[in-house]
Amino acid sequence: MAVEASESVLDHPAVDTEGRELLTELVSIPSVSGNETEAAEALAAFFERHDREVWIDDIGNVRAPGDDTILLTSHIDTVPGDIPVEIKDGEEGPELWGRGSVDATGPLAAMAIAAVETGASFVGVVGEESTSRGAWHLIENREAPEAIINGEPSGWDGITLGYRGLLEGTYVATSESGHTSRPDPNAIQHAMSWWERVEDVFEPDEWIPVFEQVTTKPVEFEGGISVDGLSMESTMEFQLRVPPERTPEEVRELSDAELETGTVNWTEFIPAVMTSPRSEVARLFRVAIREQGGDPRLLRKTGTADMNIYADEWGCPIVSYGPGDSNLDHTPHEHLSLAEFDHSIDVLIEVCEQLGVETGDSKHSEPTE
């Protein structure tokens, strides 16, 4: 089905540039986290056609080293969801519909084009929508670049400077089985009670922006009688988003303080990131956006991205940028304006050139594995 969709959409008159062709091809290839191989191979083939050194590393990342003045990186994987790949007429011209068109195949394809045009280093990473395994592998297997542009949808005229951090954990409780008429709380009630107390600790304040608050979200729950019938069990997976003003350690301690029954295993621990709008990279983005006729917007996002990991581990200047409306992330309505996609490529090329990226300059390139 993916091949048929790709062939028909690639023949559309709106697919009239190399960038649009690459974008459409990649969106037409299913690339849910854990199944990125086909999309990675198509992306690597694009760099090979342009005589760029490229390889797919041990974990599945597409690595195309170049001038490490700037590293252009985005993720290959998407969340699940079958959205027919097609081009529709929109208010600002043709739009490409399909899973990943916004998050983050649009930014990924724009960066691939900009990397080929300028000689900048490029990496397409896997697993961002799950464990960020591609980003962690990158941290462990290459030196830090001088600066990073992380590909996520911000709109072609927007720059994302901040993301909240993430705490993930699993709550587990057990209790003796008994008749449901008994007043003693069971394991399911213990889980519910603990979670209610955690929500009370971080109660939302309508007068404070969401970015500046801790938000709580259960994401999976299982509970009931054990297999042997002798106990009641409950297991809850949950997430806490952490603003830059609070540390993950502080949020974890406050949550643990509400624990009366059961145990919590904390499984993910990613600090928030908030970069300066006065950095040279951010300044050059503002200039490039204005040159394209846009009014630059500075954004803070309530989620978490690979940008958090790079900022914490490498500490180099970084922003997130890419075409697309992030309100469409993970929704059944995910689509990208092709005109916006084109604008984002021009902005990326201008920023790379102003940073001094030189085609063929490999003095800071990463070594081939």
Return d(Cα 47, Cα 232) in angstroms, integer. 55
Place of tokens 């592998």: 137
Does residue 237 carry a catalytic annotation? no
Does residue 325 carry a catalytic annotation? no
3-state secondary structure of 225: strand
Q: Which of 261, 237, 264, 238 is nearest to 185 (CA)?
A: 261
What the block records as the tokens of 365 is: 């390139």
Return d(Cα 309, Cα 123) in angstroms, integer. 15
* Active-site residue, selected from the candidate residues 36, 57, 128, 306: 128
Judge whether 89 is annotated as a binding position.
Answer: no
Place of tokens 């962690």: 136
User: Strands 86-90 and 55-56, how do they pair?
Assistant: unpaired
Judge whether 137 is annotated as a binding position.
Answer: no
**Segment 258-262 long-range contacts (CB within 8 Å, at least 24 positions apart):** 258/194, 258/197, 258/198, 258/201, 259/194, 260/190, 260/193, 260/194, 261/173, 261/190, 261/193, 261/194, 262/171, 262/172, 262/173, 262/174, 262/187, 262/190, 262/191, 262/194, 262/234
Place of tokens 């991205």: 305
What the block records as the tokens of 364 is: 């800071």
Task: Say if residues 77 and 129 touch (Cβ distance below 8 Å).
Answer: yes
Judge whether 91 is annotated as a binding position.
Answer: no
Contact partners, residue 174, CB within 8 Å, separation at least 6? 187, 226, 231, 232, 233, 234, 262
Judge whether 325 is annotated as a binding position.
Answer: no
Query: How far is C-alpha 8 from the geometric centre of its chain's CA atoms?
Result: 29
* Active-site residue, selected from the candidate residues 77, 340, 342, 346: 77
Judge whether 330 is annotated as a binding position.
Answer: yes
**Which residues make up each annotated binding site?**
75, 103, 129, 152, 330
Query: Mind telling me the catalytic residues?
Result: 77, 128
Question: Annotated binding site for Zn(2+): which residue ranges?
Answer: 75, 103, 129, 152, 330
